[in-house]
Structure 1
């Protein structure tokens, strides 16, 4: 009985520390993201034609329906504020020219092993709409993708069946993520890198605007969420999110500025979450479930 009360005390102490703010700060911008941000993002008249290019409406996909979906933990006002908090550099800017040169350099250095890995990561993606239809042929696979980061770092037994409380939390987070992603994309209509640079040969083409990166957004918002549940694994979750965002550059489908903006938005989403009573309740239950089920 004493051991039980000691365990309960530790859990409640952890809850009190996790209710109201994140345990982790956003790491400063670094590496090539920092170097590219130091270059002018203003229009360059020598490449003025590039500023006339937007993502072609003929390439819009069904993802536009997320513009009418209601957020789960975020409010409509928070979605609007976050969508207005980021902007991409002018297409004609020196920064974008350097970003395109960087993507061409990555393209020239692709290895078969890299291509296999980034294409595997590119196929990962949880869709809230699929989760609403249990008879959907992709329903089970969709839930596997929901737990991709957890399964990748914590083992195959970390799944929706074994951790229903964590599943509920992640589903709410991912609903907000998709709404956030496509609100920004269809508000700003940034063309993909291959729309501006004909020398780019992307490994795939995407039927939604470039900014901001959806893969990077889900990679980081899930990494931040998992880090609140399993804080001792925070460095590994962030490292996996970093790999995912860089994979989009290797594939030739995202500018580095798409990816850095998504990392920033993901962290801002987390700060809003800690102001939400429902999120804090679901997070507490997810932490308790993890502590119980993982045997810690």
Structure 2
């Protein structure tokens, strides 16, 4: 009887576990509409193609080019960084995107500004996590769990879920490396470098393409959706809000954001080729399933 019970327990704990089955939703909405316009240079706006992100505005994020990937391989980082490109600055697509950002700027409300600036302040940095004595160490770990806390309550944090934390830290190390490899390879100017009518809510000291906020939002949404699949729609919806917030702020083109969504999904596909990721994911899922009911917000 004990053998049968053990066998049944194994069956019950393995049936229904199917990781890496997420599908990327097709491009839609204004992201799809803008892709219908030409991405090729337009000679009438040729001056725009001479503009690159100003070197004088580079920040210290360039040091992430020295970071080693965690779950990705260096070859995968290279392939991903070479798999995407942005439309020409002078293109009809970019002109439409800039006009869209001007429209969003004209319609910004105080409530909207408060929310997008709050989202803009969220960011996990692997370098800070390496120094427990750092003044921002605890806040940084709090940001690591932003999506989980936002959807499931303040008890969703690294202290209660160390295995989930380990997984997210690895994913975010890859994300930062991926983000800045692409940015400093392509040096896309920010929208406000091309459109003087834009008054961004902040200015960012790194190139525009692709969006780092959107990349982490979707990488984490996809990862959380593997841990808590029943909340997948909520995680994706939150990631969508985060990417659109960058447009409302006037600091990213929609094409920055769609590219980041695509890269995040490709990262997930690569992860499931990595035994270390699959092991860490399984441990995170086991931890979540054994502890979440005690901490999750109803």
Normalised to the residue count of structure 1, the TM-score between the two structures is 0.96
Calculate the aligned-residue CA RMSD, in Å.
Answer: 1.4
Deviation at residue 23 of structure 1 after TM alignment: 2.1
- Which of these residues, 200, 203, 206, is aligned with residue 201 of structure 2? 203
Aligned partners of 2:263 and 2:185: how far apart in 1?
A: 15
- Which of these residues, 174, 190, 194, is aligned with residue 188 of structure 2? 190
**Counterpart residue number, 1:96:** 94
Which secondary structure does the structure 2 equivalent of 1:32 belong to?
Answer: helix
Q: Is residue 223 from structure 1 mapped to residue 221 from structure 2 by the alignment?
A: yes
Deviation at residue 155 of structure 1 after TM alignment: 1.4
Which secondary structure does the structure 1 equivalent of 2:15 belong to?
Answer: helix
**Counterpart residue number, 1:11:** 13
Describe the superposition over 1:27-83 as per-residue Cα deviations: whole angstroms up to 9, x where unpaired. 000000000000000000000000000000000000000001100000000000000
In structure 1, stretches of 5+ residues that fail to align are none
Aligned partners of 2:218 and 2:109: how far apart in 1?
A: 25
Q: Is residue 163 from structure 1 mapped to residue 165 from structure 2 by the alignment?
A: no
Query: What does 1:255-274 align with in structure 2 at a 5 Å threshold?
Result: 255-274=253-272
Which secondary structure does the structure 2 equivalent of 1:215 belong to?
Answer: helix
**Counterpart residue number, 2:108:** 110
Aligned partners of 2:212 and 2:128: how far apart in 1?
A: 17
Structure 1 stretches (4+) deviating beyond 2 angstroms? 1-15
**Counterpart residue number, 2:49:** 51
Which secondary structure does the structure 1 equivalent of 2:279 belong to?
Answer: helix
Aligned partners of 1:30 and 1:3: how far apart in 2?
A: 49
Deviation at residue 271 of structure 1 after TM alignment: 0.1
Aligned partners of 1:61 and 1:13: how far apart in 2?
A: 49
* C-alpha spacing 1:10/1:151, structure 2 compared with 1 (3 Å): farther
**Counterpart residue number, 1:80:** 78
* Residues 11 and 288, structure 1, Cα contact 8 Å, conserved in 2: no
* C-alpha spacing 1:106/1:6, structure 2 compared with 1 (3 Å): farther
Normalised to the residue count of structure 2, the TM-score between the two structures is 0.95
Which secondary structure does the structure 1 equivalent of 2:132 belong to?
Answer: coil
The farther-off stretch of 151-160 and 242-251 is 151-160
* Residues 223 and 234, structure 1, Cα contact 8 Å, conserved in 2: yes
Deviation at residue 4 of structure 1 after TM alignment: 8.0
Aligned partners of 1:165 and 1:3: how far apart in 2?
A: 28
Q: Is residue 40 from structure 1 mapped to residue 38 from structure 2 by the alignment?
A: yes
Deviation at residue 294 of structure 1 after TM alignment: 1.6
* Residues 146 and 171, structure 1, Cα contact 8 Å, conserved in 2: yes
Deviation at residue 10 of structure 1 after TM alignment: 3.1
**Counterpart residue number, 1:130:** 128
Number of aligned positions between the proteins: 292
Deviation at residue 157 of structure 1 after TM alignment: 1.0
Deviation at residue 234 of structure 1 after TM alignment: 0.2
- Which of these residues, 134, 137, 143, is aligned with residue 145 of structure 1? 143
Aligned partners of 1:197 and 1:235: how far apart in 2?
A: 35
Describe the superposition over 1:187-238 as per-residue Cα deviations: whole angstroms up to 9, x where unpaired. 0000000000000000000000000000000000000000000000000000
In structure 2, stretches of 5+ residues that fail to align are none
Deviation at residue 3 of structure 1 after TM alignment: 8.3
